[in-house]
Structure 1
Amino acid sequence: MDEFNLGSVDLQQRQNQIRHKTDGLSSSTLVLRRGQAFTVLMIHEGRPFDPLKEKLIFRIVLGPLFVEVPVTRLAQPSLNQWSAALERSIPDPTGPHALWVSLSSPASASVGVYTLQLRIETCFSVRTHLLGQFTLLCNPWCQADSVFLQSEDLRTEYVKSDIGLLFKGSPGNMVSRPWSFDQYEKGILDICMKLLQLSPQYQADMRKDLQNRSDPVYIGRVISAMVNSNDDKGVLMGNWSGDYSGGVNPSKWSGSADILRKWAETQFEPVKYGQCWVFAAVMCTVMRVLGVPTRVVTNFNSAHDTNSNLVIEEYYTEMGEKLSIGRDSIWNFHMWVESWMKRPDLGRGYDGWQVLDPTPQERSGEMFRCGPAAVKAIYEKKVDAQYDVPFVYAEVNADVHRMIVRDRKILSTRVDKRSVGALISTKRPGSMSMLDITSEYKTEQDDSTVHALSANARGGEGATGRVAPQGLAVSLQLLKAPVVGENISFIVVIANKVAVPKLLRKHVNAQNKEYNRNPTGSFWEAHHDVKIGPKETVSIKHEISFKEYMLKEAGEDSLVNLAVVIEDVKSEERVLASEEFNIRSPSLDIQVQNEYVVVNTQQVATVTFTNPFSIVVSGELTVACSGLREKVQTRLTIPPRETMRKAIYFTPGMAGAKMLYASLVLMNPPTVLHGFETITVQAS
């Protein structure tokens, strides 16, 4: 037999994916990283391969784009173009022959699902074979790739790790809650690729979109818009109303896989509902799947400056009640992601972490998305740098003008330059603790710079009226970090700075609030007359009972706006102090029985919770683990002040550093509790 006849082709899925560090990612295709060679094994019959008698030409197809790559004997892998080289040919005198070919993609190849074809040309015939598909991802291990990250520890954390912590609450009472990014769960990679394919950019101009997918800056903008459903067939619908009927309360999500699968299973109907941490966590999953190093970041006291004047104006009544006036607001916390990439479009010095925010707040290029805004550009106040640097700069730097008003007249104004962007945090690599990254975004506040940046936009508008009197100082101090089920204890401290006695009126007001907007009506208030001597300081203690602040809708954290207005009866001057804080939910404790946890072997964990309430509580406990085959759910009823210990059996399906996490959704009082334990699952 003198003919070269191709028998079968093996894309060497397991070996290639281990070399490309994509093992564990679940896809219907071979999964590869760009800028790196992969091996194809071809079994053929007839005579051994002779490059003088037949040409082997690979055709690599991405939508309407394709490239033809002839197999050569001595080709060096190229980082700039596709190449194919004969690795070795093993003739077998008694049977089929084996041919190994090494294919290399450029480090700037487009991310997408490719089709691989082979054309065999001889003097007498041309035959074409369909070899299969492969998914090509970014490659942070390849120095020529624009997402290259130097440190292996950081690549492990920001690309490979599927466990995370999200930081919520307030800087003084921060809550860390677990999140499972789930990038290794079955089908998740294919769903993430579908997300690119359903984007308006792909639908409008497939060829242009596929060409642009070589650039992580472009990919980041597409994903930022596609994680929310405001302009497209995006993944999540936002809801901050407090009414989550017809969907899932955002506080109940604990991982990305459930959300992405639900989106795919409903033929890409938006999943209900998301809030900022859900949007950010899902985006982190998608970007890590695509090979772009990504982390979730929390900005505490995040300014939403709608008119770009770098000033947030807050209004209070004389009784200390905060008013919902104006479109500007301060979110107690706000989450976005940072992705690591080069920024050749910005010139030198702006490579590295870039802010991307999928929460639909403001339009960027006619779509609800934000970024990538270079963190370095935000730090350097380079507000002309694309994309959306001024918006993010304001989120971490705006001034707050707090005004007491009566009949639309400003009675007093106090300027706060420190509360916005008070703490910017993310999970510390290799640890389940918080890393403070505030100094990457901002220096100690430089008043002259901020005012220079904001003066033109402000145009002279803003606060007018008398400043707070110099003769009085007032502050609020929580006596302990508030916990759901306990009373809130605090003191009002009033200092008379002058050598004459004063008669004062004290108005204290507490309002429940959502983390992303101004509070509505008051749930507690106290009003008293206070006599204070010359140069005297007095402390007045108050308590707010659990019954008075209990929320009606289940959430992870109750948030409270507490304010006090002190009025000098004689001069009618007023001074305001305010504090916003979260009331931490009790946490669940998880203990894994075996220190040595083995994959595919049943394990037992004990979940412990002490009911701090004076009533019987009931709810549903859910325990899950990244790589766990299915969640464990059980209903519980716990008498007042009693401790529940519940044994949970689970079987981890994947080796590596994993997180066992639990949530308990209580009906009465309505609250969501969380707990987690990290485990190292050994291969069997």
Structure 2
Amino acid sequence: MSRSDLPAGFGGWQVIDATPQETSCGLYCCGPASLVAIRNGMVYLKYDAPFIFAEVNSDKVYWQRQPDGSFQKVLVQKKAVGHKISTKAVGSDEREDITESYKFSEGTDEERIAVETACRHGSRPDTYADQWTSSDVEVTVHTDDGIVMGSDFTVTVGVANVSSECRSLTLFSQAAVMYYTGVAKGTFKRDKCDVLLEPREEKEVKLVFRNDDYLEFLVDQAAMMFTVSGRVKETGQAIVNQHSFRLRTPDLRITPVGDAVVGKAMKVEIMLTNPLPKSLKSVVLRIEGPGLQNPRKVNIGDVPRHATITVTENLVPSKPGPRKLIASLDSQQLTQVHGVVEVMVRES
């Protein structure tokens, strides 16, 4: 769109957030902000550019409160925000990556200049004024991809001594569940361990979580946040790292049976596996697909622990061409369970 309210060169593509979580000038809205301004860190150009920039290209800076009330910078993660910014590809269901439209390549001079420009117009303009150096003990945190809800899993904490002297530290870890907004609901497990590192040595600490450690605490999208912190005894350096991840829920597997022809009945099979060590109560299946099926609710009842069930439904296509059939599951014990299949419908 044209932006006559901004300097020349800031028209064209604009950024909006259609699901704002807070008000802007008294209204629940976000944007429009110039894409050119966002890419270059010009957060002083309206509207809501600071908020949008933080969504796509901010650094995560960890601070520790000192005994005198001041804050000390203990970790800067420069590549934590703005991965795989995506849109739906034209003419297909493929993912089109548009990260380069919002930010320069991670780690380039242009990208660093954009971040520091934005920071100078933020609430902590002196964040990059001092030359912060990392600790000589580095900590990483990771989990395996695709952890299924209801399973046991392991969090791996890597500790590396990059100095030429021995280092010892005490690591404190805590695991918390959080809402999809990133707000923590509460901590469900804490651990503590001592680590001794020889010069240039690396070690891994593995923390095992059983399903009964976390199942009763999960909320909405089954997101978790794992935080590890500590202090190097020899140097007094504070270390910290954080890892957020989601537990995966099973997909509904939808299989068309036979040919799809306008006006003729066909069957579809919908398969569900309960990954939890407890029964799903009063399960409801919802099915719909424009040109295939009007919204329909199917009462399934209870699904036993670790059971797999298959539901067969009849439908009569009303329109030809590629059609999508969508199914979703309603259950208090298991959320965010969906399935979709494309059905090619022929003329009768």
- Assess if the C-alpha contact under 8 Å between 1:621 and 1:664 holds in 2: yes
Structure 1 residues 617 and 609: alpha-carbon distance in aligned structure 2, compared to 1, 3 A threshold: same
Structure 1 residues 672 and 394: alpha-carbon distance in aligned structure 2, compared to 1, 3 A threshold: closer
Alpha-carbon distance in 1 for matches of 2:341, 2:219: 24
Which of 12, 28, 51 aligns to 1:391? It is 51
**Per-residue deviation at 1:643?**
1.8
Q: 1:468-494: CA deviations, max 9, x gaps?
A: 753211111213432101122121111
Which of 566, 570, 577 aligns to 2:241? It is 577
- Assess if the C-alpha contact under 8 Å between 1:621 and 1:636 holds in 2: no
**Per-residue deviation at 1:451?**
1.7
- What's 2:21 paired with? 361
Q: How many positions carry a matched residue from both structures?
A: 339
**Per-residue deviation at 1:679?**
1.6
- What's 1:278 paired with? none
**Per-residue deviation at 1:383?**
4.5
Letter in 1 for 2:247: I
- What's 1:593 paired with? 257
**Per-residue deviation at 1:538?**
0.7
Letter in 1 for 2:222: S
Structure 1 residues 482 and 515: alpha-carbon distance in aligned structure 2, compared to 1, 3 A threshold: same
Letter in 1 for 2:59: D
Alpha-carbon distance in 1 for matches of 2:303, 2:191: 35
Q: TM-score, normalised by structure 2?
A: 0.85
- What's 2:223 paired with? 559
- Assess if the C-alpha contact under 8 Å between 1:361 and 1:368 holds in 2: yes
Structure 1 residues 438 and 520: alpha-carbon distance in aligned structure 2, compared to 1, 3 A threshold: same
Between structure 1 and structure 2, the one with the greater Rg is: 1
Alpha-carbon distance in 1 for matches of 2:46, 2:164: 55
- What's 1:611 paired with? 274
- What's 1:375 paired with? 35
Letter in 1 for 2:337: L
**Per-residue deviation at 1:561?**
0.9
- Assess if the C-alpha contact under 8 Å between 1:605 and 1:648 holds in 2: yes
**Per-residue deviation at 1:675?**
1.0
Written as runs of structure 1 = structure 2, the 5 A alignment for 1:207-226 is: none
- Assess if the C-alpha contact under 8 Å between 2:231 and 2:237 holds in 1: yes
**Per-residue deviation at 1:605?**
0.6
Q: 1:274-305: CA deviations, max 9, x gaps?
A: xxxxxxxxxxxxxxxxxxxxxxxxxxxxxxxx
> Aligned pair 1:436/2:100, yes or no?
no
Alpha-carbon distance in 2 for matches of 1:604, 1:372: 46
- What's 1:425 paired with? 86
> Aligned pair 1:405/2:60, yes or no?
no
Letter in 1 for 2:154: S
- Assess if the C-alpha contact under 8 Å between 1:611 and 1:638 holds in 2: yes
> Aligned pair 1:476/2:136, yes or no?
no
> Aligned pair 1:674/2:344, yes or no?
no
Letter in 2 for 1:426: T
- What's 1:343 paired with? 2
- Assess if the C-alpha contact under 8 Å between 1:370 and 1:388 holds in 2: yes
Q: 1:154-186: CA deviations, max 9, x gaps?
A: xxxxxxxxxxxxxxxxxxxxxxxxxxxxxxxxx
Written as runs of structure 1 = structure 2, the 5 A alignment for 1:185-200 is: none
- What's 1:541 paired with? 206
Structure 1 residues 598 and 373: alpha-carbon distance in aligned structure 2, compared to 1, 3 A threshold: farther
**Per-residue deviation at 1:355?**
2.6
Written as runs of structure 1 = structure 2, the 5 A alignment for 1:226-245 is: none
**Per-residue deviation at 1:385?**
5.2
Q: 1:391-430: CA deviations, max 9, x gaps?
A: 3233212222112335544355211222122221122233
Structure 1 residues 405 and 357: alpha-carbon distance in aligned structure 2, compared to 1, 3 A threshold: same
Structure 1 gaps, min length 5: 1-341
- Assess if the C-alpha contact under 8 Å between 1:614 and 1:640 holds in 2: yes
Structure 1 residues 598 and 612: alpha-carbon distance in aligned structure 2, compared to 1, 3 A threshold: same
Written as runs of structure 1 = structure 2, the 5 A alignment for 1:11-90 is: none
Q: 1:495-527: CA deviations, max 9, x gaps?
A: 112232222211111111112133143111110
Which protein is richer in helix relative to its size? Answer: 1
Alpha-carbon distance in 2 for matches of 1:565, 1:510: 12
Q: 1:582-618: CA deviations, max 9, x gaps?
A: 1111111100112x32234322110112222232323
**Per-residue deviation at 1:364?**
4.2
> Aligned pair 1:643/2:308, yes or no?
yes
- What's 2:119 paired with? 454
Alpha-carbon distance in 1 for matches of 2:222, 2:308: 23
- Assess if the C-alpha contact under 8 Å between 1:474 and 1:492 holds in 2: yes
- Assess if the C-alpha contact under 8 Å between 1:626 and 1:658 holds in 2: yes
Letter in 1 for 2:64: I
Structure 1 residues 378 and 551: alpha-carbon distance in aligned structure 2, compared to 1, 3 A threshold: farther
**What is the aligned-residue identity percentage?**
25
**Per-residue deviation at 1:534?**
2.1
**Per-residue deviation at 1:647?**
0.4
- Assess if the C-alpha contact under 8 Å between 1:554 and 1:671 holds in 2: no
Letter in 1 for 2:198: G
Alpha-carbon distance in 1 for matches of 2:53, 2:189: 35
Alpha-carbon distance in 1 for matches of 2:329, 2:226: 28
Structure 1 residues 532 and 387: alpha-carbon distance in aligned structure 2, compared to 1, 3 A threshold: closer
Letter in 2 for 1:413: V
Structure 1 residues 403 and 536: alpha-carbon distance in aligned structure 2, compared to 1, 3 A threshold: same
**Per-residue deviation at 1:456?**
4.3
Alpha-carbon distance in 1 for matches of 2:242, 2:44: 34
Letter in 2 for 1:674: H
Q: Secondary structure at the match of 1:585?
A: coil
Alpha-carbon distance in 2 for matches of 1:494, 1:370: 41
Alpha-carbon distance in 2 for matches of 1:608, 1:370: 40
**Per-residue deviation at 1:362?**
4.3
Alpha-carbon distance in 2 for matches of 1:428, 1:483: 28
- What's 1:153 paired with? none
**Per-residue deviation at 1:551?**
4.8
Structure 1 residues 448 and 463: alpha-carbon distance in aligned structure 2, compared to 1, 3 A threshold: closer
- Assess if the C-alpha contact under 8 Å between 1:597 and 1:680 holds in 2: yes
Letter in 2 for 1:472: V
**Per-residue deviation at 1:581?**
0.9
Letter in 2 for 1:440: S
Structure 2 gaps, min length 5: none
Alpha-carbon distance in 1 for matches of 2:189, 2:218: 18
